[in-house]
Amino acid sequence: MKDENDKAREETRVAVFDIGKTNVKLNVATRAGAILETISTPNATRDGPPYRHHDLAGQEEWLLDGLRGFAARHRLGAFVACGHGSGGVLVGEDGPAAPMIDYEQPLPARIDRAYAGMAGPYLERGSPVMLGATHLARQMLWLEEEFPEAFARARWFLGLPQYWAWRLSGAAVSEVTILGAQSHLWNVPEGRPAALVRARGWDRLVPPFAPAWKAVGRLRPDLARRHGLPADLPANLEVLAGIHDSSANFYRYQAAGHSDMTVVSTGTWIVGLSDRFDPARLDEARGMTCNADVSGRPLAGALTMGGREFSRVAGTEGTGERADAGLVARLVAAGTLALPSFGGEDGMFPGSAGTGRIAGPPPESPAERRALAVLYTALLTSVCLDALGSDRLVVLDGSFVRDPLYAGLVAAFRRTRHPGAETLFNLDSQGTAAGSALLAGHAGRASPVPIALEKPPLPDLPGLADYRARWLELARAAPTTTSSTTTRLETP
**For 83-133, how does the pLDDT look when each residue is reduced to its tens digit (9 = 90+)?**
999 999 999 998 999 999 999 999 999 999 999 999 999 999 999 998 889
Is pLDDT at 248 greater than 60 in this prediction?
yes
Nearest to 67 by CA among 226, 263, 265: 226
Taking the C-alpha atoms of residue 405 and residue 461, their distance in angstroms, rounded to an integer, is 11
Taking the C-alpha atoms of residue 260 and residue 276, their distance in angstroms, rounded to an integer, is 6
**For 266-294, how does the pLDDT look when each residue is reduced to its tens digit (9 = 90+)?**
988 899 999 999 999 999 999 999 999 99
Query: What pLDDT does residue 319 have?
Result: 56
Taking the C-alpha atoms of residue 240 and residue 214, their distance in angstroms, rounded to an integer, is 5
Q: Are the beta carbons of 197 and 203 closer than 8 angstroms? A: yes
Taking the C-alpha atoms of residue 345 and residue 356, their distance in angstroms, rounded to an integer, is 11
Cis-peptide, bond into residue 450, ω within 30° of zero: no
Query: What pLDDT does residue 269 have?
Result: 87
Query: What pLDDT does residue 11 have?
Result: 83
**For 417-451, how does the pLDDT look when each residue is reduced to its tens digit (9 = 90+)?**
888 899 999 998 899 999 999 999 999 999 999 99
Is pLDDT at 318 greater than 80 in this prediction?
no
Query: What pLDDT does residue 261 have?
Result: 97
DSSP lists the bridge partners of residue 2 as: none
Q: Which residue type sits at 363?
A: P
Nearest to 360 by CA among 483, 491, 490, 492: 483
Q: Are the beta carbons of 65 and 76 closer than 8 angstroms? A: no
Mean of the per-residue pLDDT values of the chain: 93
Predicted confidence band at 484 (pLDDT cuts at 50, 70, 90)? very low
Is pLDDT at 204 greater than 50 in this prediction?
yes
Query: What pLDDT does residue 316 have?
Result: 79
Mean pLDDT of 40-51: 94
Rg value, the chain, Cα: 23
Q: Is 396 helix (H, G, I), strand (E, B) or coil?
A: strand
Mean pLDDT of 375-380: 98
Is pLDDT at 471 greater than 90 in this prediction?
yes
Query: What pLDDT does residue 492 have?
Result: 43
Query: What pLDDT does residue 9 have?
Result: 65
Cis-peptide, bond into residue 436, ω within 30° of zero: no
Query: What pLDDT does residue 320 have?
Result: 62
Mean pLDDT of 404-408: 95
- pTM over the 0.75 mark: yes
Mean pLDDT of 241-247: 97
Query: What pLDDT does residue 481 have?
Result: 47
**For 83-97, how does the pLDDT look when each residue is reduced to its tens digit (9 = 90+)?**
999 999 999 998 999
The strand ranges marked E within 305-385 are 337-339, 357-359
Q: Say which residues have a Cβ less than 8 Å from residue 17's Cβ, sequence separation at least 6.
A: 24, 25, 26, 63, 79, 80, 81, 82, 161, 164
Q: Say which residues have a Cβ less than 8 Å from residue 332's Cβ, sequence separation at least 6.
A: 375, 461, 462, 463, 464, 467
- For residue 115, give the DSSP letter: H
Q: Say which residues have a Cβ less than 8 Å from residue 326's Cβ, sequence separation at least 6.
A: none
Predicted confidence band at 344 (pLDDT cuts at 50, 70, 90)? confident
Taking the C-alpha atoms of residue 125 and residue 138, their distance in angstroms, rounded to an integer, is 12
Q: Is the dihedral of CA 355, 121, 105, 65 positive or negative?
A: positive
Query: What pLDDT does residue 482 have?
Result: 46
